[in-house]
Structure 1
Amino acid sequence: MTSSGTHLKPGPDGRVNVTPESAGWTYLSFGVVALQGGIYEGDTGGNEVALVPQSGHLSVSFGDQAHDLSRLGVFEELPAVVYLPPHTAFSVTGSGTFAHGGAPAEGRYPARVIRPHDIRVELRGGANASRQVSHLLGPDQVAERLLVYEVYTPSGNWSGWPPHRHDGQLGSLYIEETYHYRIQPASGWAIHRNYSPEDGYDEALVARDGDVILSPRGYHPVAATPGSNVYYLNFMAGEAQDEARSTPPTDEPDWAWMRQDWGGKALELPIPVVAVK
């Protein structure tokens, strides 16, 4: 795996691994694993962990349970998601790709499988800022710190708009976040911007299929280039716990008005040759 700051590329084996130490933050771990007919064995340790299949024929075992996690692909169907409490041994077998992420927890909630029909699907925004958000482990699903979403942004659209933050600044809660991108077609790309005007932090990153981008602070909108349908998997964790995980982020003041006008006062074309007097 090669990395450049907040932008991570999968290694030759398709794996990505983010720890609080490597990210320079406190709570959130994240990883992507590609199996080729093998087995991945893990233990949640002091974390609550969620497993999200992305494609292939996979099975997960924990305790005396075994569950099918097969999925045609992220653009074809919703997943079955596994939630595991701390100090739980598990294994994943088969051929396919899955993501996993975790955050420190006390173990207040039992292991369970969240089936596709239990996942709330929401259409957000409007005009060219419309997208779908699938609440894999949203505030309506019990967890201690973890939040997990899948977001679909159609060709040419914007996501994460209005720009918003949850970094403990300007009245927001402190929540860490990873973005794992899948793009259709695989040659497509998106633009991911992280920026914080008050301290001069600003980076615009080209997200390609398989990339992981961290959102360390500030605002973080995403744009899907024309012809590129963009999926990203968000894992989030921070100071918010239990019901407080539903606390909304803080919008950038210059753009908050767009929640009342998703068209954004778009320019009408063509421009007149001669202005009407």
Structure 2
Amino acid sequence: MTSRDHLRPDAAGQVDLTPASAGWTHLSFGVVTLDGAAHDGHTGANEVAVVPQQGALHVTVRGATHDVSRRGVFEELPTVVYLPPGTAYRVEGTGTFAHGGAPATGTLPVRLVRPEDIQVEMRGGANATRQVSHVLGPDQAAERLLVYEVYTPSGNWSGWPPHRHDGQLSSLYIEETYHYRVQPAHGWAIHRNYSPEDGDDEALVARDGDVILSRRGYHPVAAAPGSNVYYLNFMAGEATGDARRTPPVDEPDWGWMRQDWGGRALALPIPVRAGQK
């Protein structure tokens, strides 16, 4: 069964998502794979972040060329190029990069976000431990965009407790894409989108290269045992400036786990008879 919220790259390794094709308002997202060619882009009315994933890549903008090469998403943090509206740019080289944008007024200049500029946070605990890299987090200047890289080790959960930012239950409305990379490449994760109020509930198998949209409700992720999972989040919505710091709203049934990441785990083995050790 296919879902409009689950995209696979085409034969050339490309993904191209616009607000019109997504059926939402703010966020655009794309993935481009180059084999020695060049990609010419223009930000139009959007602010845009270019995030390299792997390969020898260079970005030229306003007469300056920047080396944004990266060994791989599981190897090192990226050098990201932030581009304001009305900016032409070119990406050249061999490798894969992602780009995403959202409407902006152009108050910020072109800049590089280097690995040493990126805040790295260890979030959760027990089997909900993951790393969140604030590639363009609320501590970084942007008008509307938020960008994160999340690493979920084999068998672990992320996006936990389940949370939402869809304008419901006093949350802000923010659109979000998940671009998955998985190690090994034949591995997978489960991405669940669900909204009890709307009756929506969809569990999607995320494989290497997939893009999954989170347009409403809660959206936790579980990495299959043996699968190390990375996802790149681009987010944009009604929050601008400092309001980008506003946290999402946890699902009421699971918010308690922020104080008990062990999850009240069952003790094994189960005794044959009550009272036996």
Fold shared per TM-score above 0.5: yes
Show the counterpart of 2:171.
172
- Residues 9-158 of structure 1: pairs in structure 2 closer than 5 A: 9-158=8-157
Tell me the TM-score normalized by structure 1. 0.98
- Residues 224-239 of structure 1: pairs in structure 2 closer than 5 A: 224-239=223-238
Which residues of structure 2 form unaligned runs of 5+?
none
Runs of 4+ in 1 over 4 A off after TM superposition: none
**CA distance in structure 2 between the partners assigned to 1:274 and 1:100 by the alignment:** 59
**Secondary structure in structure 2 of the residue aligned to 1:145:** coil
**Secondary structure in structure 2 of the residue aligned to 1:156:** coil
**CA distance in structure 2 between the partners assigned to 1:199 and 1:100 by the alignment:** 31
Shift of 1:198: 1.0
Identity of aligned residues (%): 76
Root-mean-square deviation (CA), in Å? 0.8
User: In the TM superposition, what whole-angstrom CA distance separates every residue of 1:221-251 from its partner, at most 9, and x where no partner exists?
Assistant: 0000000000000000000001000000000
**CA distance in structure 2 between the partners assigned to 1:173 and 1:4 by the alignment:** 25
Show the counterpart of 1:252.
251
**CA distance in structure 1 between the partners assigned to 2:186 and 2:63 by the alignment:** 42
Which residues of structure 1 form unaligned runs of 5+?
none
Shift of 1:65: 1.1
User: In the TM superposition, what whole-angstrom CA distance separates every residue of 1:80-123 from its partner, at most 9, and x where no partner exists?
Assistant: 00000000000000000000000000001101000000000000
Shift of 1:67: 0.3
Pair 1:183 & 2:182 matched: yes
**Secondary structure in structure 1 of the residue aligned to 2:243:** helix
Shift of 1:4: 3.1
**CA distance in structure 2 between the partners assigned to 1:80 and 1:273 by the alignment:** 57
Shift of 1:47: 0.1
User: In the TM superposition, what whole-angstrom CA distance separates every residue of 1:1-57 from its partner, at most 9, and x where no partner exists?
Assistant: xx7310000000000011000110000000000000000001000000000000000
**CA distance in structure 2 between the partners assigned to 1:38 and 1:247 by the alignment:** 40
**CA distance in structure 1 between the partners assigned to 2:5 and 2:117 by the alignment:** 33
**CA distance in structure 1 between the partners assigned to 2:223 and 2:275 by the alignment:** 36
Shift of 1:276: 1.3
Letter in 1 for 2:221: V
**CA distance in structure 2 between the partners assigned to 1:52 and 1:257 by the alignment:** 35
Letter in 2 for 1:261: D
**CA distance in structure 1 between the partners assigned to 2:22 and 2:52 by the alignment:** 23
**CA distance in structure 2 between the partners assigned to 1:188 and 1:77 by the alignment:** 20
Shift of 1:132: 0.1
**CA distance in structure 2 between the partners assigned to 1:45 and 1:109 by the alignment:** 15
Pair 1:272 & 2:248 matched: no
Letter in 1 for 2:16: N
Shift of 1:262: 0.2
